[in-house]
């Protein structure tokens, strides 16, 4: 064994850099965060050679006093906190006093700065953490930091640098994510002397949306919902992408907690669950969300690069998030402007709100409206599986079950379709059925095409879910109770949360230190592997404080029933039946997507149709 010795400050900083400075984008992150913390309103980022040759960040923030310049590059020196109390209340992005010394130890570093209190600026240079020099320099109020030849003295790290384009890509992503965090700041980014991005400060919701579009694309803007909701000391705002704007990668998921971009399991889980009912398998939601809460409720000091946080009340945050998003997504009814999937053009703006303004484009409308008013109720062959479901629920004749002999489609939609105000329903009036698969309808904007099976499946599914919620869960008693071996922690969890299991339709007791006995479970789980399901629910309760797994499995069961109970392809519908389907879609939650997240309808505007036929060119 060699002798224990004290490491040199440079080596200490280089080790710290190993954790925080992974690649050029990490340097940009640290420097831009410092500029943000300094109250800057303009931040300019110049990059050369993907950041390997030069990273220069210029800001108009508070600047650093000449006598504090050397401190700024000393480890554990910070102006942002001074006590544990400050740490628990921290609202700045930085607080560790580690970034600059780390960066300065693995590059050629220069920092020029001037606070308002000084007439002139000063420049400090330092190379690989050594040979520090300082001299007067011209500089406007603010700070410029230059980082050249990153990892020049750490060959092992330098080898890991990827192609220039890849590294710049990471930097661009980082700048975009910072720009979404701080809409009030102007960001400029250039690469090898060429301007790449200019994001002007936003002044209202419109310009904020433009910035979101710059980062997430126009599709996202057209197919997202804005939300703003506060409760229990939590405030969630931002934009959530509709299922039709989902992506094959989780590459447009921006979640900010008190202005800091974070990746967090609790948050990710809540978001995934909120989308569970509307997203196609393997697709990822797109969103830009801001969560604000008391800084003492969240620990930001849990990750070296501060990209993770820990919530003091994880369950509260999880449930708040889930409920808010779930409610927002429930509003994706077919025919509502925001959920309109577009037909031919990518630009979502092609959807025209269906007010009466364009009604005069067709003389057939008034005749159709009369037809819709007098339509006969739609009767579909859906009784069988539904009756089966009614039995499961213990309600032989359930009023909430889809039965178009019973449901008056006119009743609940009368407000939107009052003939007196001349309005046209959002999904218009049916004109024909195509190949037994699609319903074609005419609305104010043009042509609507509906996948009738997909649409009806969603309607049936939502009704079955509502029926279940109204009537509770029917449980069945087991003749031979089921014994389950679990860990002590799991057994304790069941004991503590006994009531939750009752709510879920279970009778389940602890029968020993490491065993449970199940005497009763929901009828809807017949045929499922109840033992492993219970284990999964316990795991959810332990990790997330809540579980929606049972509901999900039950949803799967009723989703299958909905599928079998819905209009099959090739079934002929007459016009009143088609119109009844359109009206149902307009009032059913989530009816913009089928149960698998695919769109149930598309709008082809007159302009899009004109374009197809090269009209007006």
Ligand X SMILES: Nc1ncnc2c1ncn2[C@@H]1O[C@H](COP(=O)(O)OP(=O)(O)OP(=O)(O)O)[C@@H](O)[C@H]1O
Identity of the residue, 94 or 243, whose beta carbon is nearer to ligand X in the bound complex: 94
DSSP string covering 335-399: T-GGG--BSS-S-GGGPPP--GGGGGG-THHHHHHHHHHTPPPP--S-HHHHHHHHHHHT-SS-T
- Output the smallest distance, CB 310 to ligand X, in A: 17
- Using the rule CB under 6 A, give the single segment among 7-15, 27-35, 292-300, 502-510 that binds ligand X: 27-35
Query: In the set 56, 96, 200, 611, which binds ligand X (CB under 6 A)?
Result: 96
- Output the smallest distance, CB 265 to ligand X, in A: 23
Q: Which runs of E-coded beta strand occur in 394-451?
A: 429-434, 438-442, 446-451
Region class of 195: left (phi > 0), else alpha (psi between -120 and 50), else beta: beta
Q: Which partner from the list ligand X, Mg ion, none does 79 bind, CB cut-off 5 to 8 Å by kind?
A: ligand X
Of all residues in the shown chain, the one whose CB is closest to ligand X is: 94
Comparing C-alpha atoms, which of 257, 260, 256, 283 is closest to residue 272? 283
Identity of the residue, 34 or 224, whose beta carbon is nearer to Mg ion in the bound complex: 34
Size of the site for ligand X (CB under 6 A): 21
- Using the rule CB under 6 A, give the single segment among 28-36, 316-324, 331-339, 526-534 that binds ligand X: 28-36
Asked if 111 is part of the footprint of Mg ion (rule: CB under 5 A), the reply reads no
CB atoms within 10 A of CB 44: 19
Burial 338-369 (b: 16+ CB within 10 A, else e): bbbbbbeeeebebbbebeeebbeebeebeebb
Asked if 100 is part of the footprint of ligand X (rule: CB under 6 A), the reply reads yes
CA pair distance 524, 391, nearest whole angstrom:
11
- Show the tokens assigned to 461: 């599914």
Q: Which partner from the list Mg ion, ligand X, none does 474 bind, CB cut-off 5 to 8 Å by kind?
A: none
- Output the smallest distance, CB 34 to Mg ion, in A: 4
Strand order in the sheet with 446-451: 429-434, 438-442, 446-451, 601-605
Question: In the window 472-501, what residues touch ligand X (CB under 6 A)?
Answer: none
Identity of the residue, 53 or 96, whose beta carbon is nearer to ligand X in the bound complex: 96
Question: In the window 184-213, what residues touch ligand X (CB under 6 A)?
Answer: none
Contact track, ligand X, 134-173, x by CB under 6 A: ---------x------------------------------
Which CA distances in Å does 68 have to 74, 101, 141, 293, 605?
10, 13, 15, 33, 63
CA pair distance 600, 122, nearest whole angstrom:
63
Contact track, ligand X, 44-83, x by CB under 6 A: ---------------x-xxxx-------x-----xxx---
Contact track, Mg ion, 19-58, x by CB under 5 A: ---------------x------------------------
Asked if 98 is part of the footprint of ligand X (rule: CB under 6 A), the reply reads yes
From the CA atom positions of the chain, what is the Rg in Å?
A: 30
Query: In the set 13, 14, 26, 34, which binds ligand X (CB under 6 A)?
Result: 34
- Output the smallest distance, CB 225 to ligand X, in A: 35
- Output the smallest distance, CB 531 to ligand X, in A: 48
Asked if 95 is part of the footprint of ligand X (rule: CB under 6 A), the reply reads yes
CA pair distance 297, 319, nearest whole angstrom:
15
How far is the first Cα of the chain from the last one, in angstroms, to the nearest whole number?
85
Q: What angle do CA 443, 445, 451 make, to 5 degrees?
A: 55
Q: Which residues pair with 260 in a beta bridge?
A: 257
CA pair distance 212, 199, nearest whole angstrom:
10
Q: Which partner from the list ligand X, Mg ion, none does 121 bind, CB cut-off 5 to 8 Å by kind?
A: none
Region class of 546: left (phi > 0), else alpha (psi between -120 and 50), else beta: beta
Q: Which residues contact 381 (CB under 8 A, 6 or more apart)?
A: 567, 571
Query: In the set 72, 99, 150, 386, which binds Mg ion (CB under 5 A)?
Result: 99
- Using the rule CB under 5 A, give the single segment among 84-92, 98-106, 211-219, 252-260 that binds Mg ion: 98-106
- Using the rule CB under 6 A, give the single segment among 91-99, 128-136, 177-185, 519-527 that binds ligand X: 91-99
Query: In the set 50, 94, 101, 238, which binds Mg ion (CB under 5 A)?
Result: 94
Q: Provide the binding-site residues for Mg ion, judged by CB under 5 A.
A: 34, 94, 99
Residues forming contacts to ligand X in the complex (CB under 6 A) are: 30, 34-35, 38, 59, 61-64, 72, 78-80, 94-100, 143
């Amino acid at each position: 064994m060699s002798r224990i010795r004290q490491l040199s400050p440079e080596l200490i900083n280089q080790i710290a850099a190993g954790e925080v400075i992974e690649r050029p984008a990490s340097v940009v992150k640290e420097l831009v965060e410092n500029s943000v913390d300094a109250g800057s309103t303009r931040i300019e980022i110049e990059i050369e050679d993907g950041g390997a040759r030069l990273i220069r960040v210029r800001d108009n923030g508070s600047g650093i006093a000449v006598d504090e310049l050397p401190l700024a590059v000393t480890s554990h020196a910070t102006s942002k906190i001074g006590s544990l109390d400050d740490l628990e209340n921290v609202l700045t992005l930085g607080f560790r006093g580690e970034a600059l010394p780390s960066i300065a130890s693995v590059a050629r570093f220069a920092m020029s700065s001037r606070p308002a209190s000084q007439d002139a600026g000063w420049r400090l240079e330092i190379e690989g953490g050594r040979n520090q020099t300082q001299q007067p320099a011209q500089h406007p109020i603010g700070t410029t930091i230059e980082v050249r030849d990153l990892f020049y003295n750490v060959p092992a790290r330098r080898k890991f640098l990827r192609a220039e384009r890849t590294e710049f890509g990471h930097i661009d992503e980082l700048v975009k994510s910072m720009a979404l965090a701080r809409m009030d700041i102007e960001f400029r980014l250039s690469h090898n002397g060429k301007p790449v991005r200019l994001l002007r400060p936003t002044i209202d919701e419109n310009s904020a949306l433009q910035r979101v579009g710059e980062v997430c694309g126009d599709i996202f803007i057209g197919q997202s919902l804005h939300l703003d909701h506060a409760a229990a000391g939590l405030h969630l705002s931002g934009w959530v992408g509709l299922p039709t704007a989902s992506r094959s990668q989780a590459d447009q998921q921006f979640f900010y907690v008190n202005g800091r971009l974070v990746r967090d399991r609790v948050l990710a889980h809540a978001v995934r669950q909120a989308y569970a009912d509307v997203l196609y398998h393997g697709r990822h939601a797109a969103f830009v969300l801001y969560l604000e809460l008391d800084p003492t409720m969240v620990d930001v000091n849990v990750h070296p690069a501060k990209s993770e946080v820990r919530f003091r009340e994880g369950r509260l945050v999880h449930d708040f998030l889930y409920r808010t998003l779930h409610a927002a997504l429930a509003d994706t009814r077919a025919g509502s402007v925001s959920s309109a999937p577009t037909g031919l053009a990518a630009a979502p703006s092609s959807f025209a709100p269906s007010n009466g303004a364009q009604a005069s484009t067709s003389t057939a409308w008034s005749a159709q409206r009369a037809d819709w008013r007098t339509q006969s109720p739609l009767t579909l062959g859906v009784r069988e599986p539904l009756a089966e479901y009614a039995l499961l629920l213990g309600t032989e004749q359930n009023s909430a079950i889809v039965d178009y002999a019973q449901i008056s489609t006119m009743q609940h939609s009368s407000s939107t379709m009052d003939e007196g105000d001349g309005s046209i329903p959002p999904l218009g009036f049916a004109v024909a059925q195509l190949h037994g698969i699609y319903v074609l309808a005419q609305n104010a904007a043009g042509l609507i095409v509906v996948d009738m099976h997909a649409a009806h499946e969603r309607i049936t599914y939502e009704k079955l879910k509502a029926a279940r919620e109204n009537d509770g869960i029917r449980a069945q008693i087991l003749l031979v109770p089921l014994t389950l071996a679990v860990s002590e922690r799991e057994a304790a969890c069941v004991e503590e949360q006994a009531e939750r299991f009752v709510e879920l339709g279970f009778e389940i007791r602890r029968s020993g230190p490491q065993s449970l006995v199940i005497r009763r479970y929901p009828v809807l789980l017949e045929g499922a592997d109840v033992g492993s399901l219970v284990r999964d629910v316990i795991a959810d309760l332990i990790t997330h404080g809540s579980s929606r797994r049972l509901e999900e499995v039950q949803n799967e069961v009723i989703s299958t029933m909905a599928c079998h109970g819905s209009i099959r392809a090739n079934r002929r519908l007459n016009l009143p039946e088609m119109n009844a389907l359109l009206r149902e879609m307009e009032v059913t939650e989530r009816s913009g997507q089928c149960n698998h997240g695919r769109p149930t309808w598309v709008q082809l505007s007159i302009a899009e149709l004109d374009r197809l036929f090269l009209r007006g060119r």
